[in-house]
């Protein structure tokens, strides 16, 4: 068991799809394996190397192809599968625990060298023969795959099933906890697994039932120096055939019995693969042992696994990711000087009500002692922007960019499936697509380059598979977007969100683009100077500008998140509004009452990924100006229940507004964008704004929002798939719209 000093990292693994929880092991796992090896065979030295992509593909496919009921039992138990070289066996399972002993979950470590080239039958034969010192007269061959399935993937799948048996048994009510004592817990049911073959002799001793024991059983041990010889193979298997053990390895201990029984049950009964042991002497076959699960001796265990996999999974004490705020603060402070953190950890801390101002002050103090640390400047900039100190945030960002313009956020799940070069605008955190928030625990490396008019592209282009234009539409970005447009027209990699399309999200432009779409409403948005508004405020007309009649929505150009947004019901409201601001230009549009029959306003954030809509959130408020953070969603269970139902029913909503979503995708020309919108009482999609810099995340507390992760994971999977698809398609696969 590993008592981890970094539980947050492990907790975050549960956010990943099951087959993505794999890669190179972290240091504490490497240290554990090294210590374990030295206690068994110090001559075997473990090593870590990145495994080839085709190896990972086989391992992921091996998990993805498992029956749904098996994967369900692993979701809240399996933290990850890691690959090393130089284990003392093909694989092993251990547990990760908090410092206080509470279990986090289980991990599986696989010896990558063992499976480097082995086919399924070759590996299974080698594995079984490790229990016997070889003799020339007797041979043992194992067949676990038909010819068409005799691949490394099938070998990995069988070994994983064995280890997953250990994972499922961990902290269960039907198997003893091997790290505590051998005492068997209360049975799960009348046909408890242990009762088929084992009996508890004492608190520290579980022995086979007399009917299940045989003379050579105590000599069975795989992977280490064998105490049995090849000449004893027939006797071992003859004895085994009179027991309820499915394999020789199962007879060695209660834990291996469960793991082997689980593996062979899933492998042969559910996946319909063979499992055959053939014994030959002098070149002639003398015995074949197969079809264990069809025999009377297997029926007790068969009923057990049928019941187990038909039932809801037993869960470890920790069911979901949780973040201790103090620990997250410490991690941010510890890492701020050694890595570029992006927005995600600061946003997560904000959602968790962490003290961002304390972090800001801490980093400010460190900067006085480490003035040439670009990471520290950029991370401090992010936190100061996050607390609303825009002047300091901008100054710190400029200092960081004077030292370096290119930063990296490595994928959480390594090795990464895709490398993305993101072109970033300087300025506030609302200036760019916060892709790291959606891909927080994904498998995509992000390389962020902050553009300038003097250097719209890096002098040396970093290795990447896809270019993602993260810059949002704003007046200050227009010149750089125009500079980038011809440079990216013939880029040698796929480009997502092209420079010609980004300006289409500007409020005035978008309101023109989306006119005359059936089922879609977006009132014309006009851009007016302070002078024009002052004149309008001096008149008593009900018309402010052209067809823009009171009440109207008014905001400064460049404002986000409702900053200085008002509803003006008369010219007097505008007259009192203007002196409070120094801005020179404003957006104005007609106000449309989108309240429901109950008087409540409901606003949706939807992300369009390659034209497909995914729900981000729904907020319910009695105020027309709806923002998720102040709509009472965190304190009102009824509102959360309504949001949960809406998210569950979102496919019907998306189908109802398909024409509108298709038009937004086609006319904007953007591969990735978000939409803040509502539904009118007449059933039309009312669009407030579109943009590529809105935040989509999976950071809301799961105890309050247990329904959200499912939908956020769908969005993350969709953006990862978009990146992979464009990577495969190659150059110019993104849109080049100048609509």
Q: Taking 80 as the threshold, does the pLDDT of residue 412 lie above it?
A: no
Higher pLDDT, 171 or 174: 174
How confident is the model at residue 189, as a pLDDT?
Answer: 38
Q: Taking 80 as the threshold, does the pLDDT of residue 655 lie above it?
A: yes
Q: Are residues 303 and 336 in the same domain?
A: no
Task: Note whether residue 431 is domain-resident.
Answer: no
Task: Note whether residue 445 is domain-resident.
Answer: no
Q: Are residues 66 and 35 in the same domain?
A: yes
How confident is the model at residue 318, as a pLDDT?
Answer: 38
Residue where a domain terminates, one of 255, 286, 310:
310
- The mean pLDDT of 529-539, rounded to a whole number, is 78
How confident is the model at residue 713, as a pLDDT?
Answer: 84
How many alpha carbons lie under 13 Å from residue 531 in its C-beta half-sphere? Answer: 0
pLDDT digits 0-9 by tens, 622-645: 988 888 888 889 889 999 999 999
How confident is the model at residue 544, as a pLDDT?
Answer: 62
Band (pLDDT 50/70/90 cuts) for residue 90 is: confident
Write the DSSP symbol of residue 339.
Answer: S
Q: Are residues 376 and 262 in the same domain?
A: no
- The mean pLDDT of 542-551, rounded to a whole number, is 70
Q: How far is CA 693 from the centre of its chain?
A: 20
Higher pLDDT, 660 or 571: 660
122: left (phi over 0), alpha (psi -120 to 50) or beta: alpha
Task: Note whether residue 716 is domain-resident.
Answer: yes
- The mean pLDDT of 520-525, rounded to a whole number, is 92
Report the C-alpha gap between 341 and 346 in whole angstroms: 8
How many alpha carbons lie under 13 Å from residue 359 in its C-beta half-sphere? Answer: 33
Residue where a domain terminates, one of 384, 402, 420:
402
Structure-token pair, residue 300: 């007790």
Count of domains for the chain: 4
Write the DSSP symbol of residue 366.
Answer: H
DSSP 670-693: -SEEEEEEEE-TTS-EEEEEEES-
Q: Taking 70 as the threshold, does the pLDDT of residue 561 lie above it?
A: no
Report the C-alpha gap between 158 and 31 in whole angstroms: 26
Task: Note whether residue 68 is domain-resident.
Answer: yes
pLDDT digits 0-9 by tens, 579-631: 888 888 888 888 899 999 999 999 999 999 999 999 999 999 998 888 888 88
Task: Note whether residue 28 is domain-resident.
Answer: yes
Q: What CA dihedral angle connects 688, 691, 695 and 696, to 10 degrees? A: 90
* Weakest mean pLDDT among 182-196, 344-358, 381-395, 626-640: 182-196
* Weakest mean pLDDT among 93-107, 210-224, 278-292, 339-353: 93-107
Task: Note whether residue 432 is domain-resident.
Answer: no
Q: Are residues 72 and 218 in the same domain?
A: yes
- Give the rounded percent of residues in the chain with a pLDDT score beyond 70: 91
Q: Taking 50 as the threshold, does the pLDDT of residue 297 lie above it?
A: yes
How confident is the model at residue 383, as a pLDDT?
Answer: 96
Q: Are residues 353 and 240 in the same domain?
A: no
- The mean pLDDT of 190-208, rounded to a whole number, is 76
- Give the rounded percent of residues in the chain with a pLDDT score beyond 90: 55
Measured CA to CA in angstroms, residue 700 lies from 264, 490, 708 at distances of 40, 40, 8
Report the C-alpha gap between 605 and 616 in whole angstroms: 5
How confident is the model at residue 42, as a pLDDT?
Answer: 64
- The mean pLDDT of 379-399, rounded to a whole number, is 95
* Weakest mean pLDDT among 244-253, 554-563, 638-647: 554-563
Task: Note whether residue 119 is domain-resident.
Answer: yes
What is the CATH classification number for the domain harbouring 365? 1.25.40
Write the DSSP symbol of residue 700.
Answer: S
Domain that holds residue 166: 2-310
How confident is the model at residue 182, as a pLDDT?
Answer: 41
Higher pLDDT, 512 or 737: 512
Q: Are residues 57 and 201 in the same domain?
A: yes
- The mean pLDDT of 685-706, rounded to a whole number, is 90
- The mean pLDDT of 396-421, rounded to a whole number, is 90
How confident is the model at residue 547, as a pLDDT?
Answer: 66
Q: How many residues does this entry show for the chain?
A: 739
End-to-end CA distance of the chain: 59
How confident is the model at residue 433, as a pLDDT?
Answer: 96
Task: Note whether residue 299 is domain-resident.
Answer: yes
Q: Are residues 606 and 543 in the same domain?
A: no
Q: Does 504 sit behind a cis peptide bond, omega within 30 degrees of 0 on the bond before it?
A: no
How confident is the model at residue 185, as a pLDDT?
Answer: 43
Higher pLDDT, 486 or 202: 486
How confident is the model at residue 639, as a pLDDT?
Answer: 94
Q: Are residues 213 and 270 in the same domain?
A: yes
Write a three-state SS string for 506-531.
CHHHHHHHCCCCCCEECCCEEEEEHH
Q: Are residues 234 and 261 in the same domain?
A: yes
What is the CATH classification number for the domain harbouring 576? 3.30.1490
What is the CATH classification number for the domain harbouring 641? 3.30.470.20
pLDDT digits 0-9 by tens, 44-56: 777 788 888 999 9
How confident is the model at residue 133, as a pLDDT?
Answer: 92
How confident is the model at residue 146, as a pLDDT?
Answer: 95
Q: Are residues 110 and 240 in the same domain?
A: yes
pLDDT digits 0-9 by tens, 118-158: 799 999 999 999 999 988 889 999 999 999 999 999 999 99
How confident is the model at residue 735, as a pLDDT?
Answer: 45
Residue where a domain terminates, one of 402, 427, 451:
402
Q: Are residues 168 and 223 in the same domain?
A: yes
Q: Taking 80 as the threshold, does the pLDDT of residue 289 lie above it?
A: yes
Report the C-alpha gap between 253 and 237 in whole angstroms: 17
Measured CA to CA in angstroms, residue 502 lies from 300, 484, 496, 669 at distances of 64, 11, 10, 8
Higher pLDDT, 314 or 10: 10
What average pLDDT is seen over the chain?
A: 87
Q: Are residues 301 and 364 in the same domain?
A: no
How confident is the model at residue 109, as a pLDDT?
Answer: 93
Band (pLDDT 50/70/90 cuts) for residue 171 is: low
How confident is the model at residue 411, as a pLDDT?
Answer: 84
């Amino acid at each position: 068991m590993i008592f981890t000093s970094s539980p947050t990292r492990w907790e975050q693994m549960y956010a990943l799809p099951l087959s993505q929880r794999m890669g190179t092991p972290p240091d504490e796992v490497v240290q554990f394996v090294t210590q374990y090896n030295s206690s068994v065979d110090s001559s075997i030295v473990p090593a870590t190397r990145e495994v080839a992509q085709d190896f990972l593909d086989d391992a992921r496919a091996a998990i993805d192809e498992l029956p749904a009921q098996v994967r369900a039992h692993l979701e809240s138990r399996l933290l990850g599968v890691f690959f090393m070289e130089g284990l003392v066996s093909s694989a092993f399972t251990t547990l990760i625990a908090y410092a206080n002993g509470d279990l986090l979950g289980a991990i599986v470590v696989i010896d990558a060298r063992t499976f480097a080239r082995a086919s399924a039958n070759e590996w299974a034969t080698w594995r079984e023969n490790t229990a016997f010192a070889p003799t020339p007269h007797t041979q043992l061959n194992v067949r676990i795959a038909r010819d068409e399935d005799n691949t490394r993937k099938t070998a990995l799948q069988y070994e994983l099933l064995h280890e997953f048996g250990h994972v499922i048994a961990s902290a269960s009510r039907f198997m003893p906890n091997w790290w505590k004592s051998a005492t068997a817990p209360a049975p799960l049911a009348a046909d408890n697994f242990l009762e088929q073959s084992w009996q508890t002799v004492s608190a520290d001793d579980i022995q086979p039932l007399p009917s299940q024991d045989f003379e050579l059983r105590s000599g069975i041990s795989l992977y280490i120096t064998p105490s049995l010889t090849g000449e004893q193979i027939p006797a071992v298997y003859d004895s085994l055939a009179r027991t309820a053990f499915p394999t020789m390895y199962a007879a060695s201990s209660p834990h291996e019995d469960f793991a082997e029984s689980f593996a062979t049950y899933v492998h042969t009964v559910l996946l319909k693969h063979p499992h055959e042991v053939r014994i030959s002497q002098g070149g002639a076959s003398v015995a074949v042992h197969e079809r264990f699960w069809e025999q009377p001796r297997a029926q007790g265990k068969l009923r057990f696994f049928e019941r187990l996999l038909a039932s809801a999974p037993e869960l470890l004490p920790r069911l979901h990711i949780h973040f201790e705020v103090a620990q997250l603060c410490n991690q941010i402070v510890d890492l701020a000087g050694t890595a570029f953190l992006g927005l995600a950890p600061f946003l997560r801390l904000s959602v968790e009500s962490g003290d961002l101002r304390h972090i800001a002050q801490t980093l400010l103090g460190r900067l006085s002692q480490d003035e040439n640390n670009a990471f520290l400047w950029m991370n401090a900039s992010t936190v100061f922007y996050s607390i609303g100190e825009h002047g300091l945030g901008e100054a710190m960002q400029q200092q960081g960019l004077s030292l370096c313009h290119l930063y990296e956020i490595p994928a959480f799940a390594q090795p990464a499936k895709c490398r993305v070069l993101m072109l970033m605008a300087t300025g506030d955190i609302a200036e760019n697509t916060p892709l790291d928030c959606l891909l927080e625990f994904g498998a995509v490396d992000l390389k962020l380059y902050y553009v300038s008019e003097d250097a719209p592209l890096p002098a040396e282009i970093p290795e990447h598979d896809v270019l993602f234009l993260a810059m949002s539409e704003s007046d200050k970005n227009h010149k750089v977007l125009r500079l980038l447009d011809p440079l990216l027209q013939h880029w040698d990699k796929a480009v997502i969100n092209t420079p010609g399309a980004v300006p289409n999200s500007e409020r005035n432009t978008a309101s023109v683009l989306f006119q005359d779409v059936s089922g879609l409403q977006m009132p014309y948005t006009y851009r007016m100077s302070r002078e024009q508004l002052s004149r309008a405020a001096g008149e008593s007309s009900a018309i402010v500008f052209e067809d823009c009649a009171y009440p109207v929505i008014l905001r400064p150009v460049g404002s986000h998140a409702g900053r200085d947004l008002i509803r003006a019901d008369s010219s007097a409201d505008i007259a009192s509004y203007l002196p409070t601001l120094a801005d020179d230009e404003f957006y104005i549009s007609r106000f449309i009452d989108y309240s429901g029959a109950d008087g409540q306003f409901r606003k949706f954030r939807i992300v369009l990924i390659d034209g497909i809509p995914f729900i981000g959130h729904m907020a319910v408020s009695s105020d027309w100006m709806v923002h998720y953070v102040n709509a009472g969603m965190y304190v009102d269970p009824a509102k959360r229940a309504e949001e949960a139902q809406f998210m569950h029913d979102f496919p019907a909503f998306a189908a109802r507004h398909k024409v509108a979503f298709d038009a937004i995708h086609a006319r904007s020309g953007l591969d990735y964008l978000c939409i803040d919108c509502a539904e009118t009482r007449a059933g039309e999609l009312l669009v407030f704004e579109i943009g590529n810099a809105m935040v989509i995340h999976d950071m809301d507390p799961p105890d309050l929002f247990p329904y959200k992760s499912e939908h956020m994971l769908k969005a993350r999977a969709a953006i990862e798939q978009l990146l992979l698809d464009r990577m495969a398609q190659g150059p110019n696969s993104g849109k080049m719209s100048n609509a």
